[in-house]
Amino acid sequence: MSLGVIVSSNNIKGWTVLIYANGNNELEPEIWKSKIDAEKSGSSENINVVMQIGRVPRHMVEIMRPKAPLPDEGENWTGVRRYYISNTGSELISDLGRINMADPRILYDFIKWGFESYPSKRRMLVVGGHGFSFVAIMTDFSQDVPYMMGVPQMCRTINAALKETGAALDILVLDACYMNSIEIIYELGKKKECPVKYLLTYIRNGPLSGLPCDKLVSALKEDYNISDTTMILKGIVDSLGLDLVAVEINHGKLKKIKGIISRLAYSYLTCEGYKDTSPREVIDTADANCPWYSCALEYRRCIQEITICYKPAPYDYHNLIDIAAREFRFTGNKMDYIALIYLNLSFCRNNCWTYLLTSKSLDKNVNSRLTNLNLPLEPIVMHPKIVERIISFINTSLPAENVGQIINHLFLYKNWTHTEIINRLSNQLKSFLP
């Protein structure tokens, strides 16, 4: 690609690429392969490639995926390590031991250390692992209970680490499923001075193998000296050939989108005769007679404005970026923990869309309760039902009774109990609630 202004050269490399590769779960074979793939391209005179990779024992993976043909494990170490990635032989920088990759503080340390240790003109961060939309992005099965990283904590961590280093992040790559939500995008750009410039992620779900790191780095090598980051993103999307979308993280534009969504929800909530309409039907309406139709059209136009590029083509702009459309229910002071995570996102504050999802009424008590919610920077205990969903997903060809046997085997191997996990989660949630 020849478009764009050439960045002047000096002793500092053009790019540093940090890869946070979480294989502390059943994806360990794919995560290990991502390191091998990254080494096919590796660092160069213009680009630093640094990876922090976590691995559980291969035997544990065999328990969780008994019918899957697993590739050779190669080096049989476990735990978490940092490598300087090179196609002539990667350098082991440090062995961090058995640490929790779902802990946002671990991600913070990696970002801060990586960009301070390998200064460059521009920066890319790749975060790879499981994704659960606005809920969580990381799962870790290496500890005494299963954990996940809440999306609010992840976004806060990335922004805090970048602020600490004084560096802007030119491209954030979320190599995880269902990260294309407006709530996540807004969380990254909620402040006027947002350090993340662009987000690259899947349109809904991605392949089990994740992004091909060799192709990603190779595409960046080809265009590393182009000053226009949007052109670099277009080159990456074209090269990878996956269902990807690149989005601008622009505070002003995102603030406008939040306002439009709030007005749309207000229009629906104050309109008689539409209360049986689901949140998904509200946002996707094509009925020009709906009182909120003009807001829905404006929302789609604004989504188009922040969309840099995407592939493949057969998507409407408003489907490239998702929005939470599940209704949450509260009983007294009890709050669904999925709702608790969602309501910690800044997109929910002073937004009528929150009322639509929680009560289908303009219940001011909801917003007052939000003001005191603040998830600390710590990993969240994962409910056993989510563990079961993950195991079911990775073993789709097996009947339910076989999946149940796998889960029992896993819990026995890890010495986990449903009671202990639920008690730990309940105690944690109590500490979160006002």
Separation in Å, CA 264 to CA 258, 282, 354: 10, 8, 12
Q: Is residue 317 predicted with pLDDT exceeding 80?
A: no
When pLDDT is averaged across residues 325-337 and rounded to a whole number, the result is: 65
Domain ranges of the chain: 13-249, 252-305+322-370, 381-432
When pLDDT is averaged across residues 375-383 and rounded to a whole number, the result is: 90
Task: Write out pLDDT tens, residues 33-72.
Answer: 999 999 999 999 999 999 999 999 999 999 999 988 887 7
Mean of the per-residue pLDDT values of the chain: 88
State residue 329's pLDDT score. Answer: 65
Give residue for tokens 């789609």.
Answer: 300
Q: Is residue 410 predicted with pLDDT exceeding 90?
A: yes
Task: Write out pLDDT tens, residues 275-286.
Answer: 778 888 899 988
State residue 3's pLDDT score. Answer: 41
The secondary structure of residue 85, as a DSSP letter, is -
Tell me which of 3.40.50.300, 3.40.50.970, 3.40.50.11970, 2.60.40.420 is the CATH number of domain 13-249: 3.40.50.11970
Strands 136-140 and 244-248, sheet pairing: unpaired
Separation in Å, CA 96 to CA 251, 283, 296, 367: 36, 45, 48, 41
Task: Give me the percent of the chain exceeding a pLDDT of 70.
Answer: 90
When pLDDT is averaged across residues 232-251 and rounded to a whole number, the result is: 94
More confident residue, 103 or 357: 103
User: What dihedral angle (degrees, nearest 10) is formed by the CA atoms of 427, 428, 429, 434?
Assistant: 100
Give residue for tokens 């764009």.
Answer: 4
Report residue 45 as tokens: 């005179």
User: What dihedral angle (degrees, nearest 10) is formed by the CA atoms of 22, 24, 27, 29?
Assistant: 100
This prediction has a pTM of 0.92
Residue 279 and residue 292 in contact, taking contact as beta carbons nearer than 8 Å: no
State residue 364's pLDDT score. Answer: 61
